[in-house]
């Protein structure tokens, strides 16, 4: 059995490739950022060709750094930014437009109309999601309605739709495979999470022709074989999962009640609910945790659109810091008792508020507010938003006693301690923080026999540091009350 696995982690701001060995140890990594396009207020696009070019380039770099040839790879696992929508021409492989990114809010008015027409219940019941521009369905409709000839070409089967996993798979296999996995499908608002198939009523509601759609497979499956030219020999693509689902797997949250929270561009908290699709009464999402051997495992998810992206804005927009790592120094100087609140609702608010029209604000400024207070407020906003999610999860009756964390922002000790304090839960940080890529590698490894079972993978999880709550309840409550007040002011009631 060839001992290595190549994990592709195609994120919102960069493409990464990581080579893992059969112990789940990282051997080599390569990363490349790509352009973000903001053509109008609330619109966010990527060039799908640039996504592909950066991905294939980091794959080759990582293999070169590791000194590994195709024949030494057991398989490839793909994990990806979710919901982002690509439509391409099956004959030429050319996208018909830029990819519409998950953060894009251009379909907000369409969603408002669908909700006022009373369709939300149908969408919640079938997909576990809500009606929101975040999900792929209205993005597909927008492309079919706004690109010349697209609707007709979609109906005759000339075009293909995919989330980023499908788009990469299509390119890796040179058009041989048009598949996705159940986790990615579950983010489109077109997939019925109970029947595990595309839903005819939803295809009609969103006016999406079935001919456009990829076939949905398990998260560990035979997705196809790469074209020889990419890696000098064929390699099996054996695992696919959306990045948050892959992180859940990489964090070995396989038992109901286990939860992880990933702090990258956005923040996504996911709690495993086992074989039950728990319906949230508090505007959280029901989603696939993963699907293995045809068996769906479900999760409940809270999605926050802006987490680390707030640090990027403080760095690039306001130029208050030159690097995100400086933020901890500011926070240590200010301390937790900060009366400034930054609500980073740059593209609306996600769970549990779901307000696409909310916009950001900085509140509580006084004459002595300085850079340090604003930067600290940016860090605290991520923790307060997580508390909004945890409250909603608990109100849904799901227990959450501890949280496994990962993502770029999880390296910040100050943030992780404040998170534990404000949530009043134990926060566990693993020694491997590249959990998303690791999850994709686990899936490919399960399919190709490198890993035997989820039990084996559970035994491989290792804690690097634990953060315990250490804040007086009165302070916790008053800080959080200030946040709720700030949220109330930015929501567009
Ligand atoms: N020390 C730090 N403190 C706070 N935020 C950080 C720190 N280091 C990185 N970040 C933030 O983490 C994010 C990058 O995380 P990553 O997991 O690579 O994101 P993504 O996969 O979404 O591209 C950036 O938005 C960055 O601002
Ligand atoms: O690219 P990330 O890590 O911010 O993740 C994006 C999410 O998958 C969007 O739902």
- Three-state DSSP state, 201: helix
Q: Would the pTM of this model clear 0.90, i.e. be above it?
A: yes
**Contact by Cβ (8 Å): 382, 345:** no
Please indicate whether the domains covering 4-244 and 252-430+462-493 agree at the CATH topology level.
Answer: yes
10 phi and psi, to 5 degrees? -95, 100
Pairing of strands 267-274, 99-100: unpaired
Measured between alpha carbons, how far is 16 from 54 in angstroms, rounded to an integer?
A: 8
| Predicted pLDDT of residue 148 | 94
Could you tell me if the CB of 407 is within 6 A of ligand 1?
A: yes
**Nearest C-alpha to atom 6 of ligand 2 is from which residue?**
81
Instruction: Tell me the average confidence (pLDDT) per consecutive run of 10 residues in the chain, 493 residues long.
Output: 89 94 93 94 94 97 94 96 97 97 93 95 95 95 96 96 98 97 98 97 97 98 96 96 96 94 92 90 92 96 92 94 95 95 90 86 95 97 96 87 91 97 96 92 97 94 96 96 94 74
324 within ligand 1 shell (Cβ under 6 A): yes
Listed residue (388, 358, 424, 125) closest to 282, CA to CA: 388
Q: Which residue has the tokens 């990464």?
A: 16
Q: What is residue 396's predicted lDDT score, i.e. its pLDDT? A: 86
For 128-137, give one letter per residue: b (16+ CB within 10 A) or e. bbbbbbbbbb
Note the ligand closest to the C-alpha atom of 315.
1
Residue ranges per domain, the chain? 4-244, 252-430+462-493
For residue 2, the model assigns a pLDDT of 66
Q: Ligand 1 in contact with 31 (CB < 6 A)?
A: no
386 is in an annotated binding site: no
Domain 252-430+462-493 indexed as CATH 1.20.200.10:
no
Q: Is 181 annotated as a binding residue?
A: no
For 235-290, the DSSP string reads -EEEEEEEHHHHHHHHTT--STT-EEEEESSSEEEEEEEET--PPPSSSPEEEEEE
What are residue 80's DSSP bridge partners?
10, 242
Residue 266 CA: nearest ligand 1 atom is: 22
Cβ(147)–Cβ(97) below 8 Å: yes
Specify the residue with its C-alpha closest to ligand 1, atom 18: 408
Strand 179-181 and strand 285-292: the pairing is unpaired
Report which secondary-structure segment, H or E, holds 45. Answer: strand 45-46
C-alpha distances in Å from residue 340, one per residue of 86, 317, 323, 370, 435: 40, 19, 21, 10, 33
Contacts of 171 (CB under 8 A, 6+ apart): 52, 56, 93
With CA atoms as reference, report the closest residue to 187 among 278, 303, 279, 273.
303
Of 440, 380, 66, nearest to 243 by C-alpha is 440
DSSP string, 386-444: HHHHHHHHHHTT----EEEEESGGGG-HHHHHHHHHHHTSEEEEES---HHHHHHHHHH
Q: How far is the CA of 414 from the centre of ligand 2 (A)?
A: 23
User: Would you state the structure tokens that stand for residue 444, as one six-digit string?
Assistant: 């490919």
Cis peptide bond upstream of 352, omega within 30:
yes
- With a 6 Å cutoff on the Cβ, whether 406 touches ligand 2 is no
ipTM: 0.96
Is 12 within any annotated ligand binding site? Answer: yes
- Mode of pairing for the β-strands spanning 402-406 and 259-263: parallel
Identify the CA nearest to 8 among candidates 230, 237, 229. Answer: 237
Q: Is residue 95 in contact with ligand 2, taking CB distance under 6 Å?
A: no
Per the CB < 8 A criterion, the answer to whether 244 and 389 are in contact is: no
Cβ-proximal residues to 487 (8 Å cutoff; 6+ apart), any chain: 343, 349, 353, 388
Give, in degrees to the nearest 5, the angle at Cα 47 between 443 and 435: 25
283 closest CA partner among 257, 303, 266 = 303
Q: Which residues of 298-316 are buried (b: 16+ CB within 10 A; e: fewer)?
A: bbbbbbbbbbbbbbbbbbe
Tell me the CATH architecture of domain 4-244: 2-Layer Sandwich (3.30)
């Amino acid at each position: 059995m060839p001992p290595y696995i190549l994990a592709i982690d195609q994120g919102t701001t960069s493409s990464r490739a990581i080579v893992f060995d059969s112990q789940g140890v990282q051997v080599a990594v390569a990363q490349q950022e790509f352009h973000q396009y903001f053509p109008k207020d609330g619109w966010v696009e990527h060039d799908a060709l640039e996504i592909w070019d950066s991905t294939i380039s980091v794959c080759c770099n990582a293999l070169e750094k590791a000194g590994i040839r195709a024949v030494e790879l057991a398989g490839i696992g793909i994990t990806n930014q979710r919901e982002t929508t690509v439509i391409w021409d099956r004959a030429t492989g050319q996208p018909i437009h830029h990819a519409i990114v998950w953060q894009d809010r251009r379909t907000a008015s369409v969603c408002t109309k669908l909700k006022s027409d009373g369709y939300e219940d149908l969408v919640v019941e079938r997909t576990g999601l809500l009606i929101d521009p975040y999900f792929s369905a209205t993005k597909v409709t927008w492309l079919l309605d706004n690109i010349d000839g697209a609707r007709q070409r979609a109906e005759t089967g000339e075009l293909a739709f995919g989330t980023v996993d499908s788009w990469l798979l299509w390119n890796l296999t040179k058009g041989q495979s048009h598949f996705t996995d159940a986790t990615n499908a579950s983010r489109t608002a077109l997939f019925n999470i109970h029947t595990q198939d595309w839903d005819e009523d939803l295809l009609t509601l969103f006016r999406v022709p079935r001919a456009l759609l990829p076939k949905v497979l398990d998260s560990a499956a035979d997705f196809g074989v790469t074209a020889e030219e990419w890696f000098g020999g064929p390699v099996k693509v054996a695992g696919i999962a959306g990045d948050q689902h892959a992180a859940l797997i990489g964090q070995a949250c396989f038992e109901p009640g286990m939860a992880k929270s990933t702090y990258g561009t956005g923040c996504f908290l996911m709690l495993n609910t086992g074989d039950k699709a728990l319906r949230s009464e508090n505007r959280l999402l029901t989603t696939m945790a993963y699907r293995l051997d045809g068996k769906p495992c479900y999760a409940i998810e809270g999605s926050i659109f802006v987490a680390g992206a707030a640090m990027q804005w403080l760095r690039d927009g306001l130029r208050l810091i030159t690097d995100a790592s400086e933020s901890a120094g500011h926070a240590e100087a200010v301390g937790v008792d900060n009366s400034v609140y930054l609500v980073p609702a740059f593209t609306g608010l996600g769970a549990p508020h779901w307000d696409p029209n909310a916009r950001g604000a900085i509140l509580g400024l006084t004459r002595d507010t300085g850079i340090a207070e604003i930067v600290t407020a940016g860090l605290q906003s991520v923790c307060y938003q997580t508390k909004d999610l945890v409250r909603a999860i608990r109100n849904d009756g799901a227990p959450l006693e501890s949280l496994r964390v990962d993502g770029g922002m999880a390296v910040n000790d100050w943030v992780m301690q404040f998170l534990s304090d404000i949530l009043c839960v134990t926060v566990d940080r693993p020694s491997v923080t590249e959990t998303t890529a690791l999850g994709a590698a686990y899936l490919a490894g399960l399919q190709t026999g490198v890993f035997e079972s989820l039990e084996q993978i559970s035994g491989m999880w290792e804690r690097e540091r634990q953060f315990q709550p250490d804040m007086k309840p009165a302070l916790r409550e008053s800080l959080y009350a200030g946040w709720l007040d700030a949220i109330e002011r930015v929501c567009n009631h």
